[in-house]
Amino acid sequence: MLSHSLRTRLSLVGVVLTLASVTACSGQQGEDPGSDSKTSESQADERSEAKIVSSIRPDAEGVDLERRLKLRVASGTFETVQVTGPKDLIVKGQFSADKTRWVSSSQLQAASSYRVTSTAVDANGLKNSSESVFATRALTLDEQTYPSFVPVDGQTIGVGMPVIIRFDVPVTDQASIERHLKVVSQPAQAGSFHWISSQEVHWRPQNYWRPGTDVKVNADIGGVSAGNGVFGQKDRAMTFHVGDAMVSKVNMDTDQMRVFRNGKLVRTIPITTGEQPKYTTRSGTKVIVEKFRHKRMNSETIGIDPNSADGYDLDDVEYAMRVTYSGEFIHAAPWSIAQQGNSNVSHGCTGMSPANAEWLYANTNVGDVVEYVGTDKPMTLTNGFGDWNASYDDYRAGSALS
């Protein structure tokens, strides 16, 4: 029989052998101590070789609006590129044929943040994604030009009304701006832009608008270069509707105005026009520019001293419809009823009886056409809405893109 002390020592040896056995089993069933480094090497081997580079560094600020965002990928090709600006506006762009490059085509907006997200894939099919942001610089008011429209949004106008876009700061790169102007009509009608000046461009259809036409005008010029360090201030749009074709024909030899609605004669009005040769009324195609129920008329505005023998200062001329910037109106002229229909005695305006003037005023829209014949003094393109006093070919030659 073993002694107590010997049994104790043998028990301890068994425990030690048992622990050693457990430790040995754990070592055989566990991972290789070097497996962590092998796994890291394997993951590194699986990294995509496609590297994406941007022409605008990440987090850049004060980026110029004329910059084009250019992305390229080395050792791979692009799968996707998305660039978003203010209000999640998508910046358009194009891939190269081999899809190793992408270049933006949309103009950047001033004082705006942009996010660039892209994905490329290498020859082994491994993907690499990139995301960055940048911000454009703000512009001073002197560096921005704002577009305003005539007619106003939602207005019903006559068939002779041109689309007029005016700019508060001159446009020297007219082609750049015109590329971002668009007039769409329903039904569709051919037409052209024509620059009246560096601050005003018109669009007219080839022929008078068709009655009932709906028109939408877009000036998508926000951030677009207008030349000389000036950019479009913002995008704008408007719509208008074309009413009946009200075309009046004035014969200054017979002193009669014939009014046609949609091609049908609806009224013949005795009139008087400018005394010749001193105040000859212009011949040509005129368009109603604006209407006044009452209008003060002072001869000083057309270069005549109101205190002279030919001068006048009338406080309350009724039913006045402007047809030229130089001062020709159609209006009620109760003082010349005896001459209406037989002689020309005005200072250049077209006068008629109050009753006829009231009727015409009520049936007239801004943009209605008045065609004058009978004198050798011509109407000009820029004296009012004179857009119809040029052939369509000549008018179209005034486009910056012609």
Residues carrying an active site annotation: 331, 349
Q: Is 369 helix (H, G, I), strand (E, B) or coil?
A: strand
Find the farthest-apart pair of alpha carbons in the chain and give their distance in angstroms, rounded: 159
110 closest CA partner among 267, 229, 16 = 229
Structure tokens at 343: 């002689």
Amino acid at 292: F
The set of residues, in sequence order, having a beta carbon less than 8 Å from that of 23 and lying 6+ positions away, is none
The set of residues, in sequence order, having a beta carbon less than 8 Å from that of 288 and lying 6+ positions away, is 158, 321, 322, 323, 330, 364, 365, 366, 367, 368, 370
Can you tell me which residue has the tokens 């965002």? 69
Burial class (CB in 10 A: 0-12, 13-18, 19+), 323: buried
Burial class (CB in 10 A: 0-12, 13-18, 19+), 44: exposed
In contact, 278 and 287? CB cutoff 8 Å = no
Alpha-helical regions (H) of 101-255: 174-178
The set of residues, in sequence order, having a beta carbon less than 8 Å from that of 382 and lying 6+ positions away, is 196, 325
Structure tokens at 50: 């496609």
